[in-house]
Structure 1
């Protein structure tokens, strides 16, 4: 991973910071609970994105509790659909789905699967799973908003391994050509994909330079530092004078919050035995990230 100049703005109010840290912890703890039901799941992919989920859903995005059909709600598409287990608890927290639905995660007849299904789960804007398509869909939503005179923004979370997909760059060209200033892509740059280190499989650096070359305003930030991440996303959402889409490269750590996952990339997919699960829960609860 190359050196990057990470952005930092004015810090958040302490009560805001405390809330967002609590919500990121909530995402990690609920992920462990739900994967216990499924008996397999993507812990570390959620943990690298927990602060991004918290920042978007509890601060930056325009959302109304209990109203997933609100036409001006900000849209969210997720290329790394295997991290949906971390998003479902947030949708329940917003009243988009019943909290009891979480208790049947992945069970027969339950709408919540290992990947999100927009036809079954209110608040899911794109059925992702096959990597590479989320930005195309996000760009389409952003273009539709412009054509219809809607004020909502579209946020798209992409995995860094997803940068190896050609369709991502086709969508990047489309978005820049159409000046989709209501589209914000966030790359979860945790350094790993299923087959190992991203840059050992196919190198993607210099990633920021690539996005800029494709006509995107590009920023790099510590994806776990809420004091850096949230003010940046707030500013980017509020900037209506911009004539280009935005890419935020969030430098993260896969498995963040559980020490033995941070040093072992094999936790991309796995299952925690009860003793290991309790160790993970205790460590998450003991830390302020």
Structure 2
């Protein structure tokens, strides 16, 4: 709601958008309060990008909670079915006969084979199948461990870059060199007023020049308007008009430099800081690309 201007109050679409954003922020705050369970929530910048990320995170969290609830219910039902299932008498007789006929090492091997088949979730508990499944599980576990290590390193790098960007942002916000001058609004108004005045002067001199040219065209060849004094006066007026035109163009360029900034000083300061941050990001990206090109050239 901080970006709401007086003109937005008369725009139904903007008011509706601001109201929807306020509702989204209220839902996000309620969700964070529930997740932190009485602990202090971390402070963060409230803008559209942060709101978008928090909405996606909330949606993903709710989806994960639903999937976990479904998985727990399925596990409970499966355990209930296993508890209720009664073994067939023939199977029990065969198992007891086989167990009685096995030696102690054989019984231990059979228990190990059954335990491995259960933990590896193999449909055919043969030594070959268990061996292939164990190799596959080991390979997947090693790959996941490598990915997890890479993600941890990437997370540390991102946290470091985040701290650097926060420090640079704080420096840009506190550095007087990047602050908007107090007299910026007054200078802009003065230059706009001078530009308007000079435009009026240029139109006045252009009208006079057109009138003089028309009068000279209607006068006879031997008239006084063709004298040297009239020509010199016309050249002086034309020179003065060119100077005024150049001055107006210069003032228009100076005013154009401030055209994209908001009228409010704080808003203009934030816009300048944002542009400086984007410029710094582009510079770092250019340096990384240049280093990559240099590295490839050396190879």
**TM-score, length-scaled by structure 2:** 0.23
Structure number with larger C-alpha Rg: 2
**Whose helix proportion is higher, 1 or 2?**
2
**TM-score, length-scaled by structure 1:** 0.24
**Whose strand proportion is higher, 1 or 2?**
1
Of the two structures, which has the highest relative contact order with CA contacts closer than 8 Å and spacing of 6 or more?
1
